[in-house]
Structures are given as structure tokens and as C-alpha cells.
Chains A and B, each alone.
Chain A
């Protein structure tokens, strides 16, 4: 009998030596989130064999707690579970589009007991658990003043964080996503102010006041200005029969949604639209840049002033470009003049040479004549002298 006990104990030891119970190396962390935000809980467990990890949602108070298991795709696909079982077990649960009902205790359960899913046995004995609280709160009310800045030369933006018990570590402002350097402060005041002394088209955009709470809360104030439209080059040149490209760019917020081009006649305005005379005009527009391409330039018709006009919800801005069309032959006259000058010079040089040294070189036309042998005779002396003085 004792031998049997001893043998069983030995067997048990051997069995246990290669097995180990599950244990947490990382537990999920409690967090506070705003509605519509997303949360992530992470859990890592070691054990041999590799433990299985499950996620459960706990509602109610002890002893009347209700447990609901969470699967990938639960809660209308707002729950995603990502698990790996290599060397040890890891599992991450993602909750997106949080609602107030998502608040509660989340439990990471793990077990490597082969009997863990047996319905006849009590689950609590064989699973280890680790809990984290997720609290979803409503967005605290941030009162902004003013709600929107439209077409003003200066403004003072202020944010007031009301309705919140969260501790405030500081605040700062961003402009179009970039943090404004001087706006950082570490006071715990729920009230913050930003001064805009001179509002130009550059300073328009989306301003955000951000309060450094946990979680961070922020609100946006839009500063809208009339668009600023400027031509790339105010004076453009084109060659006859060639094409010309007139470009206008715009800055500001909001950017123009509509671009129009006009040709300035002596009386009023005329509109070139893409659909109108499609072969001649081509308009390519993006919110911050528009270009008018005129094909097959004609000196009489196409020369003149063109107006680009950008329209946004706030207003309209325009700029003018002067187009000059050069006759294709315009450069020909200076060119012919220069060629004539070159021919005259060359002729003079040849004539001069012919008159001064008629016994040496004969007339050279354009493509070389062979050197005259008569030269070498008169120049032998020079040649020898030259060769000796080779420095």
C-alpha cells in the first residue's frame, strides 16, 4: 500500500514537474473614456500547457452579479478580440464606439486545466481571473465663445470646461492640428483663452482648445475668412499658335469651392467655361489652385486681361492676369540681324586676310579647303624655332 502511495506521489510529481498552472504576466488596466471613443484591454498569461483566455463582462453588485462572455463581433460588431497562443497566451479586446452601457467591469479569465470546460465541474475553481473597470462618461460641456469667427480682423477665443469633475492638468490650443507654442499652460483652470490679434487668410482654420484631463477633452472653433486669391504670375506671355497656362492659387479657410475664369472685354465680362469652347479652353481646378489653359493662341483674340475668381461660403475673391501673345516670328528679326552681323564679320576677316597676305592662305569658303603647300616653305624657320622652345 505504501509502495502504491509512494509511486502515485512520484507520478504526480513527475506530472506536475512538466506542467504549471496558469499565471498572469499582464493584467488589464482600468480606464475612463468618453462616449464614442474606443478602449483596449490587454491580458497576458503564462502556463504549461498554454492557457486559454476568455473575456467576460460583469454587471451588478455582489452577490447578484451577472456574467456575460464576450466574443469577437459581439455588441453589434463593436467588440474585437485578438488573441495569440505562442509560447504564452496574449489577448486584447477592443471596444469601439463606446456607449454609456459599456461601462462596467471586464474580466480576463484564463485556465490551462484540461477539465476547464467540463460542465459537471465548478468553473470558479479552475479559472484565474483579473478585472478592470471601464467607465464611459459623457462628453463634458465645453462652452466656446464665440462659436464661430466669420470675417473679422481680430478675435478672442475662449473655452470654459463646465460640468466635469475630472482633474485638469493643463491646457493648450491647436491650429489645424498643430500645437500653438505659446498657448501651453499647466494651470488647473477650466477656462482658457486665445487671442488672435490680426486675422489673415493664413490664420484662418480650425482652432481646438484641449484640456489635459484623463481622458482628454477638446472643442473646435472655426475661424473663417474671405478667401485670398492670387495669381502665380501677373503677367504671362505666350507664343502664337502655342498654348498658355494661367494659374491662380488661394489661401485661407474655407478654401473656395467654385472657381470661375473671365476674360475682360472693353465693355464687361465674358465667361470661358470648359463646356463652352472645349477645344480652346481647359480649366483644371482644385480647392487651392486653378489653371486656365488656352490652346492655339491668337494674337488678336486671346491677348488681354483674364480674371480668376474663387467663391467660398464667406465671399468671393479675384485676381487679374495680363496675357501677352507674341508673334511666332517676333524673335526672328533679332536672330536674322545677328546672323547678318556674323556673316559680315567673317567676310571682313577673309577679305582682310586676302589683302594683307595674298601669298599665304587662299580664300576659305565654309567647309575647309586643303592647306596650301606653299605655306610650309616660308614658315620653316619659324617652325624650327618654335619646336625648340617648348616651354
Chain B
């Protein structure tokens, strides 16, 4: 069926590289909280001012993704990723010498975020270049490090801060981030056409399928993170202890890893269309998000734990299949640019989602509305995806260089 590359030794080496680099990008991103307390005490600033550091880094990663993608199209993915790795490391190294909060915004925020933006999308697309049917599996395996690394990095960084103080710890983190550079070095010259060195990636914007996809993904992002932000608070709101709430989060993280791998593996079997799989996992995630506050109201800890596990699994599962759908919509040549743009646009959803749910909680006094709205965003996104052309066909469109564009 698939005549393109779908594996091979180097393909799996690339998956390993994706594993390592995703761990160093998102795992680090999620472990910055360790420095929070140190910065508040050292710089004597408010919690909100310190939180901006992470917000800027996350926003920069998503914002610079299209740029990273465009640079890959124009130059060489390998150079872009290696540069990104150097920048990410440089950001932390410079941050270790910071004397005021603004320095941190610039170094840990902008420079590192820029580096991450130059790393993530190019790595993902490079890996996908080695797979056709099994791209979801490859990504699932590659992304499984994200959950794992926050397990490892959180206590590790705590230890580093104890031993070396935050300056020393940041310096070492900069060194660790440089490990992304060898990952980038592993990228081989891909046999992609150089034709799209025309900056025609913006042409995707006038195509309805891409816009539809972006709208759906933005809605997904608006709802997806809400439990990560508010689940602990919800658990404590109904009376569970800090440890019980933290345990729920750990367990959700573990099933997230499992979901990514299982979904990637099952998608590779080819029994269902990628888009259908995406809708399946996303709608399940939406349903479980809505069930979360309802199960917490039952007062039973096992019930809440079970629903959280299911949410974690489905949430992880959907991440493995999001990127593989992109080339089906815009074609392989524009996959790189489109992926970058998707990152940028979905960041809007991410930015708005958590504050919106926080606002709903403030207004209504409990988390029911926040979670229901978040789950509804996911379900709404699924509905939007059904409007993609040729959605209801049972098989993927016949192999041709055109795709959904008809």
C-alpha cells in the first residue's frame, strides 16, 4: 500500500532523537517551576512577575515555530535544529548570570523560547519524513519523553538548586539543553523538493481545509490544558488532601505517556483514517473533561482517579495523531510550513483557555462551568473537523500529490 519510506534504521534513530529533544524542550518547560520559589525570594518580586518567565518561553516557542519551519524550507533542517539547540542552551547559560528580572525575561524567556521554536517543529516534521503509515507511532514514541522527563527533571533540578544554587543549576541546565544539538546533527538531508523555497507557505491560509483544521486545533488547545492547570485545585476544592491531588496529577501524567504510545501504535495499523482517529480521541478527551467535575462531585476518590486516568490516556493519545493529519490536508511539501503555522495559531487557544476557565470559576464559584466549557471546546473542534472535505470517506484519499484540496 504505502510505497514511501515507513521505517528503516535511521528512521528509528530519528525517533530516538525526537525523544531526546522533546524531553529537553517540553520536559524543561514543565520543570521551570522549581526555580519559581528561588526567584521570588532572590529578586523579591511577586509571583505573577516571576510566572511571566515561563509564559514568555512557552509563547516564544509557539510564536517562532513558523519561522523555524520557514528556515527549514529555505535552508537545512539540521542547521536550524542545531542552532535552536545552541540558542536554548545559551538562554539558560546567560540566565545564570542575571542580575534582574528583566534579564530572565530576555534570556530564559525569549532566547530559550526562540531556540525551542527552532527545534520542535523541524524535528517533528523531519521524523515524519521517514514514515508514512506509521508516523503516528513514531511521534507517539517520540513524545513519550515529555511526560517522563518532567518526572525526572523536577526532582533533578531541585537537587541541582540545592547543591549549586539557582545560578549553578541554570548553568548546568544550559549544558543539558545543548544535548539537543547532537539530536539535530542526526538529521539527514531529506529528499524533499526545494521548490517551496517560495515562501508559499502562506498560501495555505486561503485554503478552507487548512483554516478548518487550524480552527479545530485552536479549540482543542483551549480546552486541553484546563485539567493540567485546574485539576489539582478541583480535587482540593472538593476536599481531597494535597497528596491525593498531587497523586492524581502524577497518575494522569503516566497514562498520558501510555496514551501517546498506544495511540501511535494503533494508528499505524492503518485500520482507520488518521482524521477519524483524531476525532475519536479528542471527543473522548472532551467527554472525560466534562466528567471530571461531575465525578469529583460524587465525593469518591477512586471515581475521580479513574476519570483522570482516562482523561490522561485520551489526552496523550490525541497528541500523537495531530501532526500526521497536517500533510493530509496541505500536502507533503507544505507540511513543514503548515506545522509551524499550526503551532502559532493553536497558541492562541492555549493562551486563552486557562484564563477563561479561571474566570468562569471566579464567576460561578466552582469548577463545573470551567471544565464543561473546556470539554465542549474539544467537542466543538471535532464537529468542525467533520466539515473537512471528503471527511466521510472510509479510506484515505488515493495516493496523489493532491490531498484534501480535491
A residues with CB within 8 A of B: 237-239, 242, 245, 326, 328, 330-332, 334-339, 341-342, 345-346, 349-350, 353, 360-361, 364, 366-368, 371, 375-376, 379-380, 382-383, 385-391
Separation in Å of the A358 CB from the closest CB of chain B? 14
Indicate which residue in A376, A382, A388 contacts B400 across the interface (CB closer than 8 Å).
A388
In the bound complex, what is the Cα–Cα distance between A177 and B75 (angstroms)? 72
Q: Which of B3, B165, B179 has the most CB of A within 10 A?
A: B165
In the bound complex, what is the Cα–Cα distance between A375 and B76 (angstroms)? 13
In the bound complex, what is the Cα–Cα distance between A318 and B327 (angstroms)? 68
B247 at the interface (CB under 8 A from A): no
B residues with CB within 8 A of A: 2-5, 41, 75-76, 78-79, 82-83, 96, 129, 132-133, 162-165, 167-169, 171-172, 174-176, 178-179, 181-182, 185-186, 188-189, 191-194, 274, 327-328, 331-333, 396-397, 399-401, 403
B182–A338 CB distance below 8 A:
no
Contacts of A368 on B, CB cut-off 8 Å? 75-76, 78-79
Separation in Å of the A288 CB from the closest CB of chain B? 18
Indicate which residue in A328, A338, A353 contacts B176 across the interface (CB closer than 8 Å).
A338
Separation in Å of the B90 CB from the closest CB of chain A? 12
Separation in Å of the A389 CB from the closest CB of chain B? 4
B132–A391 CB distance below 8 A:
yes
B174–A386 CB distance below 8 A:
no
A391–B396 CB distance below 8 A:
yes
Contacts of B171 on A, CB cut-off 8 Å? 331-332, 335
Separation in Å of the A337 CB from the closest CB of chain B? 8
A342–B179 CB distance below 8 A:
yes
Indicate which residue in B175, B191, B194, B400 contacts A390 across the interface (CB closer than 8 Å).
B400
Contact flag A346-B75 (CB < 8 Å), given A386-B332, A390-B331, A390-B399: no
Indicate which residue in A339, A383, A387 contacts B175 across the interface (CB closer than 8 Å).
A339
In the bound complex, what is the Cα–Cα distance between A330 and B171 (angstroms)? 11
B182–A386 CB distance below 8 A:
no
B189–A360 CB distance below 8 A:
yes
In the bound complex, what is the Cα–Cα distance between A389 and B342 (angstroms)? 22
Separation in Å of the B28 CB from the closest CB of chain A? 14
In the bound complex, what is the Cα–Cα distance between A321 and B274 (angstroms)? 60
Indicate which residue in A328, A330, A367, A390 contacts B79 across the interface (CB closer than 8 Å).
A367
Contact flag A342-B178 (CB < 8 Å), given A382-B191, A383-B191: yes
Indicate which residue in B188, B191, B193, B399 contacts A389 across the interface (CB closer than 8 Å).
B399
B79–A364 CB distance below 8 A:
yes
Residue of B nearest to A344 (CB): B182
B182–A389 CB distance below 8 A:
no
Contacts of A386 on B, CB cut-off 8 Å? 4-5, 129, 191-192, 332
B165–A239 CB distance below 8 A:
yes
B403–A371 CB distance below 8 A:
no
Separation in Å of the B36 CB from the closest CB of chain A? 16
Contact flag A389-B78 (CB < 8 Å), given A331-B164, A346-B185: no
Indicate which residue in A239, A349, A380, A383 contacts B185 across the interface (CB closer than 8 Å).
A349
Separation in Å of the B228 CB from the closest CB of chain A? 29
Q: 5 A-B pairs, CB-CB below 8 angstroms?
A: A326-B163, A331-B167, A339-B178, A342-B178, A391-B403
In the bound complex, what is the Cα–Cα distance between A389 and B332 (angstroms)? 9
Separation in Å of the B143 CB from the closest CB of chain A? 20
Separation in Å of the B334 CB from the closest CB of chain A? 10
Residue of A nearest to B135 (CB): A391
A338–B178 CB distance below 8 A:
yes
